[in-house]
Structure 1
Amino acid sequence: MSWTRRRFTRLPLLAPALALPGLANLGGCARPSFGSTRPGRGSWDERALALRLWRASEPSGNAALSPVNLAAALTMATLGAQGRTRAELAEVLGVRRPDTAVEALAAHVARWSTLEAPALRAANGLWTRSADALEPSYVRTLEQRLAAHSETMEDLESGREAINAWVSERTEGQLPALLEAPLDPATLAVVVSALHFRGHWLEPFDPESTRPRPFHRDDGSEIEVPMMTGHGFLRRAWSERSQLYAVEIPYSAGAQADAQIRESELAPDDASEPTPSLPPRFDMLLILPPRDQPIAEANAQLESGALAELLDMLETAEPLTLYVDLPRFSIRARTDVRALCRSLGAEQAFGQSANFKAMTKAPARIDHFEQLVAVDVDEAGTVASAAAAFGIAARSMPARFSADRPFWYIIRERGGPWLFLGQYSDPEA
């Protein structure tokens, strides 16, 4: 089987063998397509974490989540926690010790830094309102083990735009406004993790073949979308039990790496020769739910073992000629990570009993935690970014009371009668 036949070749508009309604819910996630994806004994099961986070996010409509980016942010929060707070966050991560996640994340970043393609970069950052706001040991851990950038800002709210600019730069402008809402005046620090992916298809779709074609919504309605069309020699799998249908569309690993992989596949099998070390490969894995089942209902199958079965089938599948119709699409999604964590049993980190003594001497809690994701898919490939941020705020009452909105007032004798009771709501009345 020649490499030429296996490449994803361009084609004029043809009748598809695989049409992809509901694709937008997949969020353009990439995964390695060579070698086993099963975690080793005692290792961190990142696939299980991804599915837990996906379920807890309660996806609807167009949705996107970056599990590895969220894992990085959750790991940095867990490193600063103690007691029950730490145990609950570690349970969300699926690790007994946060060091397990730290080591895995550091290994990912080291591996990605050697890629010729796709472009895949991760970055972490830490901003504090004073040099002594956080424990020096915590800051050193993030700097040394997770390569975090650290900076002190006297006024974090005034520096919010600088934090957004840092994220925008590391996501090539795809995420210009991670922090939209004003920060709590009691915020001691903001911790951010960013991820950026830019991958070109191994063979791009031909833009001239893109045509307006119907996309079939789950409610039975149709809408025209720019539908890309192509065909190639691709790995696919269909499960008769679950009725899930999947295909892998590979990204280029760069000219040199693609040539190395091509030579390896064309070389005859020789048990006496050592197997060459191949560069990591990435693909977009597309999955169709059963035709008669809305994708919101089919989401439950992803954790039922049906997805694991499908992935096992793909690992051993032989590439076959396949026609593909794929919408050109863009998604922007913001996730409230506090709600997600609470649904997975991590409550204490966000309340008045939070224990972040490994991070700061001050009684503190996570006061906001969100992730912003952007995914753009077109004929050339995929650009996707994610950034997650959490703020650590003092658990005491805010240092400022600002009556800059309607309020009630009571003039009283303490322990005695109320002399006046009123409200102020309109300065022009």
Structure 2
Amino acid sequence: MHLADSLLLLVAGLLALSHGQLHSEHRDQGHGHHPHREAPGTGEGSPSLKISAGNTVFALHFYHLMVSQTPWSNIFFSPLSISAAYAMLSLGAGSHSRTQILEGLGFNLTEVSEPDIHQGFQNLLHTLHLPEDGLEIQMGNALFLSPEVPLCPRFLNDSESFYESKLLRTNFKDPAGTAQLINNHVKEETRGKIVDLVRGLSPDTTMVLVNYIYFKALWEKPFSPSMTIPQDFYVDEVTTVKVPMMMQGPQHHWYLHDRHLPCTVLRMDYKGNATALFILPNRGKMDEVEEVLTPEMLSRWRNLLQNRYFYKKIKLYIPKFTISGSYELDQILPKLGIRDLFSQGADLSGITEQLNLQVSKSFHKAILEVDEVGTQASAATGSFVTFLSRDNQQALWFNRPFLVVVFSTNTQSILFLGKVVNPTKP
């Protein structure tokens, strides 16, 4: 029996809030094949909005699966990074494998067509890459390929046109050198934050697909570093850890105490077209809140938090922390319906007709850093509401496990999703 050649799929995500200035001059590097981009439409009929519902469905399916496997661990990932990588891969898949991929990514193919999906990602990428003061988003794909492997012209053209993919030839007979090349590329594209994504490449690997996303944003209302002090964070009933707790004096913020669910939801805006929801379950109610974490619930919270009634003064206490998530997608995605890719039944003949490709390994790594100035990577912080009787100021303490969802507001897509159980565990 002919063994399938090995395709390694790597997905990297970084969401960061950080001290330094944003370096917008990096934004257009590596995208020379789009020298004169015009602002894409982001209104009601824009292509990216046609895929936002599917992207949200996939994000929450992935999250709930991770919760079921590791209920008391930090969770952090970029659903958009994973979706874009596999949607691009579907361009080279045969009909059954292609349907499996797209349905596994949350798309209802009776409601959104395959051309709409790829045009949606094309529009989404163009929109994310538009320069904005205070916000830097870089997302892209790179295909590492043996020199002797010919690609199908249509796949090469479509992956570049829709997903801004770069093609990089490399000698897989030198696994260590190829791993270094891949890791250096990812390290550069994520500003040095994600390193050693791949190790121990198999010599029979002929192709590696890498997707990365880098997000760096500044809070609209930053915290003062001089007010950050050590405080207790209650991981569970028996575990307490010390964290540097950022504090912000009474300011107006968007937040609500949900009347129907045991949680408080805080909206924190970044400069530019990005915002975050911090979802804080009441004590012992994380499971109850997670059970109703649906696209409809996220939409409900976001709609409510545009009502001026929920724009009120509050003191905020949020940990300064870094967490990360690493996931073996070849073990996870089959449970979400994407099975053929990782078996000898894979049909990737649209990538190259000369090899019988299958995805041997697929990794996703995401890092979140949250500090006083902004976010570098994606974070989730859980907390509860309390009142400080000594000064009658209402205060919101993120001093126990919480969820965080980071949105691109003009594309209505979830960039990062996570749960912070223990902010001292990177």
Local SS of the residue matching 1:205: coil
Structure 1 residues 348 and 176, CA, compared in 2 at 3 Å: closer, same or farther?
same
Aligned match of 1:124: 141
- Structure 1-normalised TM-score? 0.70
CA drift of 1:101 comes to 3.0
Determine whether 1:338 maps to 2:330: yes
Distance 1:112 1:43 in 2: 14
CA drift of 1:381 comes to 0.9
Q: Structure 2: state its 5+ residue gaps.
A: 1-13, 18-41, 380-426
Aligned match of 1:215: 233
Structure 1 residues 228 and 103, CA, compared in 2 at 3 Å: closer, same or farther?
same
Which of residues 104, 116, 127 is equivalent to 1:92? 104
Which of residues 47, 70, 89 is equivalent to 1:77? 89
| Aligned pairs (5 A) from 1:151-230 | 151-155=168-172, 157=175, 158-180=177-199, 182-230=200-248
| Aligned pairs (5 A) from 1:4-403 | 43-45=51-53, 46-58=55-67, 60=71, 61-95=73-107, 96=109, 97-114=113-130, 115-155=132-172, 157=175, 158-180=177-199, 182-230=200-248, 231-253=250-272, 281-293=273-285, 295-296=286-287, 298-303=289-294, 305-318=296-309, 319-361=311-353, 362-384=355-377
CA drift of 1:141 comes to 1.5
User: Is contact 2:219-2:270 (8 Å) kept?
Assistant: yes
Distance 1:374 1:40 in 2: 25
Distance 2:157 2:44 in 1: 35
- Structure 2-normalised TM-score? 0.71
Distance 1:67 1:137 in 2: 26
Distance 1:332 1:37 in 2: 35
Please, what is the CA RMSD of the aligned residues?
2.8
Distance 1:39 1:312 in 2: 22
CA drift of 1:38 comes to 12
Distance 2:77 2:244 in 1: 24
User: Is contact 2:121-2:162 (8 Å) kept?
Assistant: no
Kindly indicate which of the two structures has a greater share of residues assigned to strand: 2
Structure 1 residues 105 and 137, CA, compared in 2 at 3 Å: closer, same or farther?
same
Local SS of the residue matching 1:346: coil
Q: Residue 83 of structure 2 aligns to which amino acid in structure 1?
A: A
Local SS of the residue matching 1:159: helix
CA offsets per residue over residues 144-182 of structure 1, 9 Å max, x none?
A: 2221111111226231111111111111000022113x2
After TM superposition, the structure 1 stretch with the greater mean CA deviation from structure 2, 94-103 or 140-149, is: 94-103
Give the number of aligned pairs. Answer: 328
Local SS of the residue matching 1:64: strand
Structure 1 residues 41 and 367, CA, compared in 2 at 3 Å: closer, same or farther?
closer
Local SS of the residue matching 2:305: helix
Q: Percent identity?
A: 23
Q: Structure 1: state its 5+ residue gaps.
A: 1-26, 254-280, 387-429
